[in-house]
A and B are shown apart, each in its own frame.
Chain A
Amino acid sequence: MRALYCAGRGAADMHEASIALSLIDVASEVLREHGAARASALTVRVGQWSSVVPEALTAAFPACAAGTGLEGARLSVVTVPGVGECPVHGRVTLDVTRGLRCPECGAPTPTLLAGDELELDELELVEPDLEDV
């Protein structure tokens, strides 16, 4: 297991540091698959119900990326709102502070149709041959 040295910002960021390390693992795998040495930017989709705080992830990322192909890459986080299915109002965008309830009528919407994502969406590769130009 890798030590979380990049978690030096304090306990509040430890979770996002773990997530950042997993993100870098996934992204590094994509780099290998495409024969790219490094990436210049990446986009991550974080659901509002994923318990990951985008600001903390953004703060933890640069230190975690040091020494990897993601070093210096620009991280963009897209927040995905929760979407539930109300028996009356159909697909509704949820308000986290109100729980899994339809914001229109308060009916329970137990199933999340969206909003629990934690995924690497896009990666901007730097082609090795271009680097030498």
Chain B
Amino acid sequence: MTVANPRIVTVRQNILKANDHTAAENRATFTAAGVRAINLASSPGAGKTALLERTLRDLAGQMSMAVAVGDLATENDAARLRQHGAQAEQIVTGTICHLDAAMVQAVLPRFDLAGLEVLFLENVGNLVCPSSYDLGEAARAVLISTTEGEDKPLKYPTMFNTADVVVITKMDLADAVGFDRDLCRENIDRARPGVPVIELSSRSGAGLDAWFAFVRGEPT
């Protein structure tokens, strides 16, 4: 087989345009229903589910909230969250290490969006892949716990660079693990200059007011 003069075409197209398109549809759906969608991302074990449990419990009766939670294999997180009286739907992602806009879109019919104020999109525990995928959220919260090392923002700059707020969790353990607060905040500011930072403990309740203000969409 002879191939003569192959034709080169300039494309210049975003590889994730299909995801971005679906994300825009999700965003329009959320806006129309008056729902604030919050994408939560962190490494595994940083305390996303614990923070959501505490949020659902403390704000019960004040706000109408629900959760769509992504996980590779189990339904454990959704079961944990349902104990607090809120609707929680599991998105089992199989081999896929992040939520994408289509997965979120597929789960939306299970929610009564018109009756909701806040929908949390709890991403798969992973600081790499979720950063590339817009879900249509109004805001993206990236969590880092005091137990996982102050240099995470430098190791995973893209995740932190796309955050609207960075939440430092497990502050009750900060002294025990020798957490360097100033260094951590400096590294966050390197990855995302000027991003608001909230320090809290889901266990003790310290710092939760600032988080709740963010959840409500008040200035952080």
Beta-carbon contact of A19 and B15 below 8 Å = yes
Q: Known A3-B95, A52-B132, A123-B11; judge A100-B192 contact (CB<8 A).
A: yes
Interface size, chain A (Cβ < 8 Å): 48
**Complexed CA–CA distance, A45 and B196 (Å):** 31
Chain A residues 112 to 133 lying within 8 A of chain B, measured CB to CB, are 112, 116, 118-127, 130-131, 133
A104 at the interface (CB under 8 A from B): no
**Complexed CA–CA distance, A23 and B11 (Å):** 12
B206 at the interface (CB under 8 A from A): no
Beta-carbon contact of A50 and B96 below 8 Å = no
Chain A residues 22 to 67 lying within 8 A of chain B, measured CB to CB, are 22-23, 25-27, 30, 34, 36, 40-41, 44, 49-52
**Complexed CA–CA distance, A55 and B132 (Å):** 17
**Complexed CA–CA distance, A27 and B3 (Å):** 20
A78 at the interface (CB under 8 A from B): no
**Interface-facing stretch out of B16-24, B53-61, B80-88, B113-121:** B16-24
Contacts of A125 in B (CB 8 A): 6-9
Contacts of B98 in A (CB 8 A): 15, 18
Nearest A residue to B193 via CB reads A108
Q: Known A44-B15, A99-B191; judge A15-B10 contact (CB<8 A).
A: no
A90 at the interface (CB under 8 A from B): no
**Could you say which of A99, A108, A122 contacts B9, with CB atoms under 8 Å apart?**
A122
Chain A residues 78 to 109 lying within 8 A of chain B, measured CB to CB, are 96-101, 108-109
**Complexed CA–CA distance, A19 and B100 (Å):** 12
Beta-carbon contact of B129 and A51 below 8 Å = yes
Beta-carbon contact of A96 and B157 below 8 Å = yes
Q: Known A15-B98, A18-B98, A101-B190; judge A123-B15 contact (CB<8 A).
A: no
B204 at the interface (CB under 8 A from A): no
**Complexed CA–CA distance, A18 and B7 (Å):** 27
**Complexed CA–CA distance, A23 and B169 (Å):** 36
Q: Known A19-B15, A51-B131, A98-B190; judge A122-B6 contact (CB<8 A).
A: no
Beta-carbon contact of A118 and B193 below 8 Å = no
**Complexed CA–CA distance, A9 and B10 (Å):** 31
**Complexed CA–CA distance, A30 and B15 (Å):** 12
Q: Known A22-B16, A25-B18, A100-B192; judge A120-B6 contact (CB<8 A).
A: no
Residues of A at the B interface (CB closer than 8 Å) are 1, 3-4, 7, 11, 14-15, 18-19, 22-23, 25-27, 30, 34, 36, 40-41, 44, 49-52, 96-101, 108-110, 112, 116, 118-127, 130-131, 133
A-B contact pairs, 9 of them (CB 8 A): A3-B94, A18-B96, A30-B9, A30-B13, A49-B161, A99-B153, A130-B2, A130-B3, A130-B4
